[in-house]
Amino acid sequence: MQTFTVALAGNPNSGKTTLFNRLTGAHQKVGNYPGVTVEWKEGVRRLQGTELHFVDLPGTYSLTAYSEEELVARNYLLGDQPDLVVNVVDASNLERNLYLTTDLMELGLPMVVVLNMSDVAESSGLEIDTVALANRLGAPVIPAVGSRGVGLDALLASVLDVLGRNGDQPRPQVDLGQEIEPRIDELVREMAERVPQIPSRQRRWHAIKLLERDEKVVGELGRHDLADQAERLAGELDEEEPGTSDVTVSRHRYAYIGHLCRQVVRGTARPGRDLTDRLDAVAMHQVWGVPIFLALMFVVFNLTFTLGDPLMGFMETGIAALSSGVSALWPEGSTSPLRSLLVDGVIA
Protein backbone atom coordinates (compact mmCIF):
# COMPACT_ATOMS: atom_id res chain seq x y z
CA MET A 1 0.00 0.00 0.00
CA GLN A 2 1.27 3.47 -0.86
CA THR A 3 1.75 5.69 2.16
CA PHE A 4 1.70 9.50 2.20
CA THR A 5 2.05 12.06 4.97
CA VAL A 6 -0.36 14.98 4.85
CA ALA A 7 0.06 17.92 7.23
CA LEU A 8 -2.90 20.10 8.23
CA ALA A 9 -1.72 23.68 8.65
CA GLY A 10 -3.74 26.80 9.38
CA ASN A 11 -4.50 29.64 11.75
CA PRO A 12 -5.81 28.83 15.23
CA ASN A 13 -9.59 28.21 15.11
CA SER A 14 -9.73 27.74 11.36
CA GLY A 15 -11.17 24.25 11.94
CA LYS A 16 -8.09 22.03 11.54
CA THR A 17 -8.94 19.68 14.38
CA THR A 18 -12.57 19.43 13.27
CA LEU A 19 -11.44 18.38 9.78
CA PHE A 20 -8.73 16.14 11.21
CA ASN A 21 -11.28 14.29 13.33
CA ARG A 22 -13.66 13.88 10.41
CA LEU A 23 -10.86 12.68 8.14
CA THR A 24 -9.32 10.16 10.48
CA GLY A 25 -12.18 9.12 12.73
CA ALA A 26 -10.99 6.99 15.61
CA HIS A 27 -7.62 6.13 14.11
CA GLN A 28 -5.59 8.70 16.01
CA LYS A 29 -2.47 8.91 18.11
CA VAL A 30 -1.86 11.84 20.44
CA GLY A 31 1.42 12.83 22.05
CA ASN A 32 3.77 15.76 22.39
CA TYR A 33 6.48 17.15 20.19
CA PRO A 34 9.82 16.33 21.85
CA GLY A 35 10.87 18.88 24.44
CA VAL A 36 7.85 21.16 24.18
CA THR A 37 4.30 21.17 25.49
CA VAL A 38 2.77 21.49 22.05
CA GLU A 39 0.43 18.61 21.29
CA TRP A 40 1.12 16.23 18.43
CA LYS A 41 -1.75 14.47 16.69
CA GLU A 42 -1.52 11.92 13.95
CA GLY A 43 -4.30 9.90 12.33
CA VAL A 44 -4.68 7.49 9.45
CA ARG A 45 -7.20 7.32 6.62
CA ARG A 46 -7.15 4.49 4.09
CA LEU A 47 -8.80 4.85 0.72
CA GLN A 48 -8.33 3.54 -2.78
CA GLY A 49 -5.27 1.49 -1.86
CA THR A 50 -3.59 4.51 -0.31
CA GLU A 51 -2.74 5.17 3.30
CA LEU A 52 -2.88 8.84 4.26
CA HIS A 53 -1.17 9.82 7.52
CA PHE A 54 -2.68 13.11 8.62
CA VAL A 55 -0.78 15.32 11.06
CA ASP A 56 -2.71 18.07 12.85
CA LEU A 57 -0.10 20.85 13.20
CA PRO A 58 -0.43 23.54 15.89
CA GLY A 59 -2.33 26.62 14.73
CA THR A 60 -0.14 29.50 13.57
CA TYR A 61 -0.57 32.86 11.89
CA SER A 62 2.77 32.65 10.09
CA LEU A 63 5.99 30.66 9.97
CA THR A 64 8.11 33.16 11.86
CA ALA A 65 9.70 31.81 15.03
CA TYR A 66 7.95 33.94 17.63
CA SER A 67 6.20 31.12 19.49
CA GLU A 68 6.67 27.44 20.24
CA GLU A 69 3.69 26.61 18.02
CA GLU A 70 5.15 28.43 15.04
CA LEU A 71 8.53 26.84 15.54
CA VAL A 72 7.04 23.37 15.83
CA ALA A 73 4.93 23.83 12.72
CA ARG A 74 7.74 25.19 10.59
CA ASN A 75 10.35 22.69 11.79
CA TYR A 76 7.94 19.94 10.90
CA LEU A 77 7.25 21.36 7.45
CA LEU A 78 10.93 22.01 6.76
CA GLY A 79 12.42 18.91 8.27
CA ASP A 80 9.97 16.08 7.99
CA GLN A 81 8.92 17.02 4.50
CA PRO A 82 5.31 15.87 4.39
CA ASP A 83 4.15 14.83 0.94
CA LEU A 84 1.44 17.47 0.96
CA VAL A 85 0.07 20.32 3.05
CA VAL A 86 -3.64 20.83 3.51
CA ASN A 87 -3.87 24.52 4.29
CA VAL A 88 -7.04 25.13 6.29
CA VAL A 89 -8.24 28.68 5.70
CA ASP A 90 -11.11 30.42 7.50
CA ALA A 91 -13.07 31.72 4.51
CA SER A 92 -14.82 34.32 6.67
CA ASN A 93 -11.42 35.84 7.47
CA LEU A 94 -9.72 35.28 4.16
CA GLU A 95 -7.30 38.18 4.17
CA ARG A 96 -5.90 37.43 7.61
CA ASN A 97 -5.62 33.70 6.89
CA LEU A 98 -3.84 34.12 3.57
CA TYR A 99 -0.74 35.42 5.32
CA LEU A 100 0.17 31.90 6.39
CA THR A 101 -0.82 30.64 2.94
CA THR A 102 1.78 32.88 1.29
CA ASP A 103 4.37 31.62 3.79
CA LEU A 104 3.42 28.05 2.88
CA MET A 105 3.62 28.80 -0.84
CA GLU A 106 7.26 29.75 -0.38
CA LEU A 107 8.05 26.41 1.26
CA GLY A 108 7.32 24.84 -2.10
CA LEU A 109 5.36 21.85 -0.78
CA PRO A 110 2.45 20.47 -2.78
CA MET A 111 -0.66 22.08 -1.30
CA VAL A 112 -4.43 21.88 -1.22
CA VAL A 113 -6.32 24.84 0.23
CA VAL A 114 -9.54 24.26 2.17
CA LEU A 115 -11.88 27.23 2.40
CA ASN A 116 -13.40 26.16 5.67
CA MET A 117 -16.22 28.04 7.44
CA SER A 118 -17.82 28.62 4.05
CA ASP A 119 -21.16 28.78 5.83
CA VAL A 120 -20.00 31.74 7.93
CA ALA A 121 -18.52 33.50 4.89
CA GLU A 122 -21.76 33.01 3.00
CA SER A 123 -23.98 34.29 5.77
CA SER A 124 -21.88 37.44 6.03
CA GLY A 125 -22.36 38.03 2.33
CA LEU A 126 -18.93 37.04 1.05
CA GLU A 127 -18.56 35.31 -2.26
CA ILE A 128 -15.15 33.85 -3.06
CA ASP A 129 -14.17 32.98 -6.62
CA THR A 130 -12.48 29.66 -5.86
CA VAL A 131 -11.29 29.10 -9.44
CA ALA A 132 -9.53 32.46 -9.59
CA LEU A 133 -8.06 31.91 -6.13
CA ALA A 134 -6.80 28.45 -7.11
CA ASN A 135 -5.14 29.89 -10.20
CA ARG A 136 -3.43 32.61 -8.24
CA LEU A 137 -2.21 30.25 -5.50
CA GLY A 138 -1.28 27.43 -7.85
CA ALA A 139 -3.19 24.97 -5.66
CA PRO A 140 -6.70 23.49 -5.68
CA VAL A 141 -9.16 25.38 -3.49
CA ILE A 142 -11.94 23.33 -1.88
CA PRO A 143 -14.87 25.03 -0.10
CA ALA A 144 -15.89 23.18 3.06
CA VAL A 145 -17.95 23.29 6.23
CA GLY A 146 -15.89 21.10 8.51
CA SER A 147 -18.35 21.05 11.38
CA ARG A 148 -20.99 19.49 9.09
CA GLY A 149 -18.65 17.34 7.03
CA VAL A 150 -19.39 19.28 3.84
CA GLY A 151 -16.59 19.20 1.27
CA LEU A 152 -14.66 16.29 2.77
CA ASP A 153 -15.06 14.01 -0.26
CA ALA A 154 -13.92 16.75 -2.61
CA LEU A 155 -10.98 17.42 -0.30
CA LEU A 156 -9.88 13.78 -0.25
CA ALA A 157 -10.26 13.50 -4.02
CA SER A 158 -8.15 16.61 -4.48
CA VAL A 159 -5.47 15.36 -2.07
CA LEU A 160 -5.21 12.06 -3.96
CA ASP A 161 -5.16 13.92 -7.27
CA VAL A 162 -2.27 16.19 -6.25
CA LEU A 163 -0.34 13.29 -4.70
CA GLY A 164 -0.88 11.27 -7.86
CA ARG A 165 0.57 14.01 -10.06
CA ASN A 166 3.73 13.55 -7.97
CA GLY A 167 6.43 15.92 -9.01
CA ASP A 168 7.03 19.60 -8.66
CA GLN A 169 4.59 21.60 -10.65
CA PRO A 170 5.69 25.15 -11.33
CA ARG A 171 3.90 27.30 -8.83
CA PRO A 172 3.06 30.99 -9.03
CA GLN A 173 5.05 33.05 -6.56
CA VAL A 174 4.05 35.78 -4.19
CA ASP A 175 5.48 38.88 -5.84
CA LEU A 176 7.23 40.84 -3.11
CA GLY A 177 8.10 43.76 -5.36
CA GLN A 178 11.12 45.19 -7.14
CA GLU A 179 13.04 46.12 -3.99
CA ILE A 180 12.91 42.63 -2.53
CA GLU A 181 12.73 40.20 -5.46
CA PRO A 182 16.23 40.83 -6.93
CA ARG A 183 17.71 40.37 -3.46
CA ILE A 184 15.87 37.08 -3.03
CA ASP A 185 17.23 35.97 -6.41
CA GLU A 186 20.76 36.84 -5.39
CA LEU A 187 20.49 34.84 -2.17
CA VAL A 188 18.83 31.90 -3.93
CA ARG A 189 21.70 31.72 -6.45
CA GLU A 190 24.27 31.89 -3.69
CA MET A 191 22.44 29.24 -1.68
CA ALA A 192 22.33 26.86 -4.64
CA GLU A 193 26.09 27.06 -4.86
CA ARG A 194 27.13 27.09 -1.24
CA VAL A 195 24.43 25.20 0.65
CA PRO A 196 23.35 22.38 -1.64
CA GLN A 197 21.79 20.50 1.28
CA ILE A 198 18.86 22.92 1.26
CA PRO A 199 16.32 21.39 -1.14
CA SER A 200 15.91 23.62 -4.19
CA ARG A 201 12.21 24.22 -3.54
CA GLN A 202 12.98 25.56 -0.05
CA ARG A 203 15.58 28.10 -1.22
CA ARG A 204 13.16 30.94 -1.75
CA TRP A 205 11.69 30.53 1.73
CA HIS A 206 15.17 30.51 3.30
CA ALA A 207 16.22 33.56 1.29
CA ILE A 208 13.18 35.52 2.49
CA LYS A 209 13.77 34.48 6.07
CA LEU A 210 17.39 35.64 5.75
CA LEU A 211 16.19 39.04 4.53
CA GLU A 212 13.77 39.17 7.47
CA ARG A 213 16.73 38.47 9.78
CA ASP A 214 15.05 35.35 11.15
CA GLU A 215 17.39 34.36 13.98
CA LYS A 216 17.18 30.61 13.47
CA VAL A 217 17.79 30.72 9.75
CA VAL A 218 20.58 33.31 10.09
CA GLY A 219 22.15 31.07 12.73
CA GLU A 220 21.94 27.99 10.52
CA LEU A 221 23.33 29.65 7.43
CA GLY A 222 25.92 31.78 9.20
CA ARG A 223 28.47 29.01 8.81
CA HIS A 224 28.21 29.38 5.08
CA ASP A 225 28.93 33.14 5.04
CA LEU A 226 25.47 33.60 3.59
CA ALA A 227 24.41 35.47 6.70
CA ASP A 228 26.87 38.30 5.98
CA GLN A 229 25.63 38.72 2.47
CA ALA A 230 22.02 38.60 3.68
CA GLU A 231 22.76 41.20 6.35
CA ARG A 232 24.18 43.52 3.69
CA LEU A 233 21.05 43.11 1.54
CA ALA A 234 18.72 43.53 4.52
CA GLY A 235 20.65 46.68 5.47
CA GLU A 236 20.04 48.06 1.98
CA LEU A 237 16.32 47.39 2.41
CA ASP A 238 16.38 49.18 5.78
CA GLU A 239 17.64 52.27 4.00
CA GLU A 240 15.34 52.14 0.99
CA GLU A 241 12.05 51.75 2.80
CA PRO A 242 10.76 52.85 6.19
CA GLY A 243 11.02 50.26 8.96
CA THR A 244 13.31 47.27 9.27
CA SER A 245 13.61 44.68 6.50
CA ASP A 246 11.19 42.23 8.15
CA VAL A 247 8.56 44.96 8.30
CA THR A 248 9.21 45.72 4.64
CA VAL A 249 8.77 42.08 3.67
CA SER A 250 5.49 41.70 5.56
CA ARG A 251 4.20 45.01 4.18
CA HIS A 252 4.74 43.76 0.65
CA ARG A 253 3.18 40.45 1.56
CA TYR A 254 0.06 42.20 2.88
CA ALA A 255 -0.06 44.33 -0.26
CA TYR A 256 0.01 41.20 -2.38
CA ILE A 257 -2.73 39.59 -0.29
CA GLY A 258 -4.89 42.73 -0.36
CA HIS A 259 -4.62 42.84 -4.13
CA LEU A 260 -5.41 39.12 -4.39
CA CYS A 261 -8.50 39.48 -2.16
CA ARG A 262 -9.84 42.36 -4.23
CA GLN A 263 -9.65 40.07 -7.25
CA VAL A 264 -11.29 36.98 -5.78
CA VAL A 265 -13.74 38.23 -3.15
CA ARG A 266 -17.07 39.69 -4.12
CA GLY A 267 -18.99 40.98 -1.16
CA THR A 268 -22.67 41.27 -1.97
CA ALA A 269 -22.91 43.01 1.36
CA ARG A 270 -20.15 44.82 3.12
CA PRO A 271 -18.76 42.17 5.46
CA GLY A 272 -20.24 42.99 8.85
CA ARG A 273 -17.55 43.52 11.40
CA ASP A 274 -18.01 40.91 14.06
CA LEU A 275 -17.97 41.57 17.78
CA THR A 276 -14.26 40.73 18.08
CA ASP A 277 -13.35 43.25 15.40
CA ARG A 278 -15.40 45.95 17.08
CA LEU A 279 -13.89 45.23 20.50
CA ASP A 280 -10.41 45.14 18.95
CA ALA A 281 -10.94 48.54 17.39
CA VAL A 282 -11.31 49.95 20.91
CA ALA A 283 -9.10 47.71 23.05
CA MET A 284 -6.20 47.52 20.56
CA HIS A 285 -6.21 51.25 19.84
CA GLN A 286 -2.69 52.66 19.41
CA VAL A 287 -3.15 55.29 22.06
CA TRP A 288 -5.97 54.01 24.25
CA GLY A 289 -5.02 50.32 24.21
CA VAL A 290 -2.50 50.44 27.04
CA PRO A 291 -4.50 52.79 29.33
CA ILE A 292 -7.57 50.57 28.82
CA PHE A 293 -5.51 47.49 29.67
CA LEU A 294 -4.11 49.16 32.82
CA ALA A 295 -7.57 50.33 33.88
CA LEU A 296 -8.96 46.80 33.47
CA MET A 297 -6.09 45.34 35.50
CA PHE A 298 -6.78 47.95 38.20
CA VAL A 299 -10.44 46.94 38.30
CA VAL A 300 -9.52 43.26 38.50
CA PHE A 301 -7.11 43.85 41.40
CA ASN A 302 -9.65 45.98 43.22
CA LEU A 303 -12.38 43.40 42.79
CA THR A 304 -10.03 40.74 44.13
CA PHE A 305 -9.72 42.61 47.39
CA THR A 306 -13.11 44.29 47.78
CA LEU A 307 -15.06 41.16 46.88
CA GLY A 308 -12.42 38.81 48.24
CA ASP A 309 -12.17 40.24 51.76
CA PRO A 310 -15.74 39.58 52.91
CA LEU A 311 -15.66 36.16 51.23
CA MET A 312 -12.48 35.30 53.12
CA GLY A 313 -14.15 36.42 56.35
CA PHE A 314 -17.10 34.12 55.65
CA MET A 315 -14.82 31.18 54.99
CA GLU A 316 -12.81 31.74 58.15
CA THR A 317 -15.89 32.02 60.37
CA GLY A 318 -17.45 28.96 58.74
CA ILE A 319 -14.38 26.82 59.15
CA ALA A 320 -13.84 27.91 62.76
CA ALA A 321 -17.45 26.94 63.54
CA LEU A 322 -17.11 23.58 61.82
CA SER A 323 -13.86 22.92 63.59
CA SER A 324 -15.18 23.66 67.08
CA GLY A 325 -18.38 21.72 66.29
CA VAL A 326 -16.39 18.61 65.41
CA SER A 327 -14.04 19.14 68.36
CA ALA A 328 -17.03 19.20 70.71
CA LEU A 329 -17.91 15.62 69.75
CA TRP A 330 -15.04 14.56 72.03
CA PRO A 331 -14.70 15.41 75.74
CA GLU A 332 -12.67 18.51 76.57
CA GLY A 333 -8.89 17.84 76.34
CA SER A 334 -9.25 14.53 74.51
CA THR A 335 -6.15 13.40 72.64
CA SER A 336 -8.04 11.09 70.27
CA PRO A 337 -6.03 10.61 67.04
CA LEU A 338 -9.30 10.66 65.05
CA ARG A 339 -10.22 14.07 66.47
CA SER A 340 -6.77 15.39 65.66
CA LEU A 341 -6.97 13.94 62.16
CA LEU A 342 -10.32 15.59 61.46
CA VAL A 343 -9.78 18.94 63.17
CA ASP A 344 -6.07 19.59 62.58
CA GLY A 345 -5.80 17.67 59.35
CA VAL A 346 -8.90 17.47 57.18
CA ILE A 347 -10.67 20.67 58.23
CA ALA A 348 -7.54 22.82 58.71
Catalog residues that contact ligand GDP under the rule CB under 6 A: 10, 12-18, 59, 116-117, 119-120, 145-147
Site for Mg ion contains 135 (CB under 5 A): no
CA–CA gap between residue 106 and residue 3 (Å, rounded): 25
Task: Provide the greatest CA pair distance for the chain.
Answer: 92
Provide, rounded to whole angstroms, the least separation between the CB of residue 92 and Mg ion.
17
User: Which of the stretches 12-20, 96-104, 149-157, 192-200 binds Mg ion when contact is defined by CB under 5 A?
Assistant: 12-20
Residues that contact Mg ion, how many (by CB under 5 A): 2
Provide, rounded to whole angstroms, the least separation between the CB of residue 40 and Mg ion.
12
Beta carbons within 8 Å of 141's beta carbon, 6+ residues apart: 113, 114, 115, 130, 131, 133, 134
Provide, rounded to whole angstroms, the least separation between the CB of residue 95 and ligand GDP.
18
What is the number of H-type helices and E-type strands within the chain?
Answer: 14, 9
Site for Mg ion contains 130 (CB under 5 A): no
User: Which of the stretches 14-22, 24-32, 164-172, 249-257 binds Mg ion when contact is defined by CB under 5 A?
Assistant: 14-22
Given a contact cutoff of 8 angstroms between Cβ atoms, the answer to whether 172 and 137 are in contact is: yes
Provide, rounded to whole angstroms, the least separation between the CB of residue 274 and ligand GDP.
12
User: Which of the stretches 10-18, 26-34, 116-124, 164-172 binds Mg ion when contact is defined by CB under 5 A?
Assistant: 10-18
CA–CA gap between residue 228 and residue 243 (Å, rounded): 20
Pick between residue 16 and residue 209 the one whose CB is nearest to Mg ion: 16
Pick between residue 120 and residue 160 the one whose CB is nearest to ligand GDP: 120
Pick between residue 11 and residue 245 the one whose CB is nearest to ligand GDP: 11
Identity of residue 147: S
18's contact among ligand GDP, Mg ion, none, with CB below 5 to 8 A by partner kind, is: ligand GDP
CB atoms within 10 A of CB 106: 23
Residue 317: Cβ-neighbour burial (10 angstroms; 0-12, 13-18, 19+)? exposed
Angular region, 54: left φ>0, alpha ψ -120 to 50, beta rest:
beta
145's contact among Mg ion, ligand GDP, none, with CB below 5 to 8 A by partner kind, is: ligand GDP
Pick between residue 89 and residue 109 the one whose CB is nearest to ligand GDP: 89
Query: What is the secondary structure of 135-168 as a DSSP string?
Result: HHHTS-EEE-BGGGTBTHHHHHHHHHHHHHH-S-
Provide, rounded to whole angstroms, the least separation between the CB of residue 140 and Mg ion.
23
Site for Mg ion contains 17 (CB under 5 A): yes
CA–CA gap between residue 107 and residue 101 (Å, rounded): 10
143's contact among Mg ion, ligand GDP, none, with CB below 5 to 8 A by partner kind, is: none
Pick between residue 13 and residue 336 the one whose CB is nearest to Mg ion: 13
CB atoms within 10 A of CB 100: 23
Which residues in 136-175 contact Mg ion (CB under 5 A)?
A: none
Binding site for Mg ion (CB under 5 A): 16-17
